[in-house]
A and B are shown apart, each in its own frame.
Chain A
Amino acid sequence: MTTPLLEVRDIAKFYGHRIGCDKVDFDLYPGEVMGIVGESGSGKSTLLNCLAGHLTPDAGQVRFEMRTGEMADTVTMSEPERRMLSRTDWAFVHQHARDGLRMNVSAGGNVGERLMAVGARHYGNIREEAIDWLGRVEISETRVDDRPTAFSGGMQQRLQIARNLVTGPRLVFMDEPTGGLDVSVQARLLDLLRGLVREMGLSAIIVTHDLAVVRLLADRLMVMKDGHVVESGLTDQVLDDPQHAYTQLLVSSVLQV
């Protein structure tokens, strides 16, 4: 019997007396990809940031299975411990690649920096590994010394993914990873992410408002409204047989192509 990689219990975050998110509860198992959908202001990004340690929740626990096998509460752990996690076992893919990249450092440097943060020192090895990862996200070796400012939006996003995955994380948080990209670039990125998730056995939590993206990427789905989870379940079940009024509205509002 496998045990959860992440146990989230009763997470709440308030902005004054306004609810960010409240009473969020779920387990994520190794290799699972969970989508969180909801309109803007539904609390999905707040929740993601609470889970990833960017925001401190006002209540609840986020327990993560460390490599030693013990469950550690990431809300109460020390800042250096949490920072170590976010450099090694966790990755965070931002909606805007510029938030996740160092724009004045070369593409190779962006990938190599994360390796150095976990102790890699040999320049040749770091460069080789960086080039290998750029290849995996379909960025040509000839661009390794270019800065991300010279890259297109889609390339920047792929570079951000390479930078995040190079250290072999076990859990990836993604905030609208395909938002703001044009459709053909989105498709390519989705294909890439699916392949990486399968090959590396990654677990991921993806926040998006795009139902087509979750259908293709996520095993499970959580629907949020006004800071609360109104429905959750198997992705295709929630989308094809939604039970809650809000989910029904959401699904029926999607424009058919």
Chain B
Amino acid sequence: MIEIEGLSKTFTLHNQGGVVIPVMEGGALSVARGECVGLVGTSGAGKSTLMRMIYGNYLAASGRILVDGLDVTKAEPREILALRRQTLGYVSQFLRVVPRVATLDVVAEPLLAVGVHAEAARETARGLLTRLRIPERLWSLSPTSFSGGEQQRVNIARGFAHEYPCLLLDEPTASLDAANRETVLGLIDEAKARGAAIVGIFHDEAARDRVCDHTVDVSIFTPKAA
């Protein structure tokens, strides 16, 4: 489902003397349906950068990233948006939402975007929020006022609402208590069972060992200092 080869990335800081910082070279990754691959490496090695490039959020300098047959590095914005709507889900570490929108609608939104009927979408959202132990009295409130852990769970519920064939998970179990961590790992297992290809970053080693089929150390893609 996800095939990456020859991927490189540089950042050019025009306003800081035009410094060019190479951060990745020869990046490669392959994820099959029903498989979960964990990205490992020290902080700053480029795990999140790689994930953001797969999502089309960062531009690649060279190489290709095929997600369900679409080369994200060359695709038009509308092709990437369609891919994100239908195929590629991303649970980031931070929840970014329009203020004032109720939690239930935040979670249901990805389903509405693919044309699921409003009531069916809310039903799915209610199910996920219940599993992730967000108290029902909070569902009509905007998640912007929630605690960090609650926001993280709302973000996860939103990421799992639509059954994306590909999922990117950036630290999905960070800042969760044991029970919720277990729920999230269960959601990941279910997604794998239905055939989703998953790329994950887990600092929680026990969690990584449990859900990941293998790991890729991204520091081998770090360019050697010249």
Residues of A within 8 A of B (CB): 29, 32, 184, 187-188, 190-191, 194, 198, 215-216, 219-220, 233-237, 240-241, 243-245, 248-249, 252
Which 10 pairs from chain A and chain B are nearest by CB?
A: A245-B14, A187-B99, A234-B77, A241-B58, A220-B77, A187-B100, A191-B98, A248-B14, A236-B57, A216-B98
A35 to B189, CA, bound (A): 39
Asked if A234 meets B98 with Cβ closer than 8 Å, knowing A198-B112, A245-B14, the reply is no
Judge whether B81 and A244 touch: CB under 8 Å. no
Q: Is the CB of B12 within 8 A of A243?
A: yes
* Residue B78 at the chain A interface, CB threshold 8 Å: yes
- Are A237 and B59 in contact, CB atoms less than 8 angstroms apart? yes
Give bound CA distance, A257 to B14, whole Å. 25
**Contact present for B81 and A219 (CB under 8 Å):** yes
Asked if B113 contacts A198 (CB within 8 A), the reply is yes
Q: Is B225 an interface residue (CB 8 A)?
A: no
B 100-144 binary contact with A (CB < 8 Å = 1; else 0): 110000000000110000000000000000000000000000000
A93 to chain B, nearest CB (A): 18
Residues of B in contact with A (beta carbons under 8 Å apart)? 11-15, 52, 56-59, 77-78, 80-81, 96, 98-101, 112-113
Q: How far is the CB of A205 from chain B (nearest CB, A)?
A: 14
What is the CA–CA distance of A236 and B57 in the complex, to the nearest angstrom?
Answer: 6
- Residues on the A chain within 8 Å of B96, using CB: 215
Indicate if the CB atoms of A248 and B13 lie closer than 8 Å: yes
Could you tell me the dominant secondary structure of chain A's interface residues?
helix
Cα–Cα distance between A249 and B18 once the two chains are bound (Å): 12
Asked, given contacts A188-B100, A248-B14, A248-B15, whether A29 binds B78 with beta carbons under 8 Å apart, the answer is yes
Given A219-B81, A220-B77, does the pair A237, B58 have CB atoms closer than 8 Å? Answer: yes
Query: In the complex the two chains form, what is the Cα distance from A245 to B98 in whole Å?
Result: 29
CB distance from B112 to the nearest CB of A (A): 7
Rounded to whole angstroms, the CA-CA distance of A29 and B96 in the bound complex is 26
Q: How far is the CB of A43 from chain B (nearest CB, A)?
A: 21
CA distance A248 to B58 in the complex (A): 14
User: Nearest CB to that of A219 among chain B residues?
Assistant: B81
CA distance A230 to B65 in the complex (A): 26
- Pick the residue among B59, B77, B101, B112 that contacts A219 (CB under 8 A): B77
Which A residue's beta carbon lies closest to that of B11?
A241
Q: Which residues of B contact A184 (CB under 8 A)?
A: 100
A248-B99 Cα distance, complex, nearest whole Å? 26
Q: Are A252 and B113 in contact (CB under 8 A)?
A: no
The residue among B11, B58, B78 with the most chain A CB atoms within 10 A of its own CB is: B78
User: Chain A residue with minimal CB distance to B96?
Assistant: A215
For A240, give the chain B residue with the smallest CB separation. Answer: B57
CB distance from B85 to the nearest CB of A (A): 10
Known contacts A194-B98, A198-B113; A243 and B78 CB within 8 A of each other: no
Also in contact, A191 and B101, with CB within 8 A (given A237-B57, A240-B57, A243-B59)? yes
On whether the beta carbons of B78 and A187 are closer than 8 Å, the reply is: no
Question: 7 new A-B pairs (CB below 8 Å) besides A187-B100, A191-B98, A191-B101?
Answer: A29-B78, A32-B78, A191-B99, A198-B112, A234-B81, A237-B58, A244-B14
* Whole-angstrom CA separation of A191 from B101 in the bound complex: 7
In the complex with contacts A241-B57, A243-B12, A233-B77 CB distance below 8 A: yes
Which residues of the other chain, A, contact B81 by a CB distance below 8 angstroms? 219, 234
* A26–chain B nearest beta-carbon distance, Å: 10
Given known pairs A191-B100, A216-B98, A240-B52, the reply for A234 and B80 (CB within 8 Å) is yes
Tell me which of A190, A191, A194, A244 has the highest count of chain B C-beta atoms within 10 A of its own C-beta: A191
CB neighbours (8 Å) of B15 from chain A are 245, 248-249, 252
Give bound CA distance, A194 to B14, whole Å: 34
Whether A234 lies near B14 (C-beta < 8 A) is no
How far is A35 from B24 in the complex, measured between Cα atoms in Å? Answer: 31
Question: Bound complex: CA of A215 vs CA of B99, how far in Å?
Answer: 13
B13 / chain A contacts, CB cutoff of 8 Å: 248
Show 14 residue pairs from A and B whose CB-CB distance is below 8 angstroms, ordered by the A residue. A184-B100, A191-B98, A191-B99, A219-B78, A233-B59, A234-B56, A241-B11, A241-B59, A243-B12, A245-B15, A248-B13, A248-B14, A248-B15, A249-B15
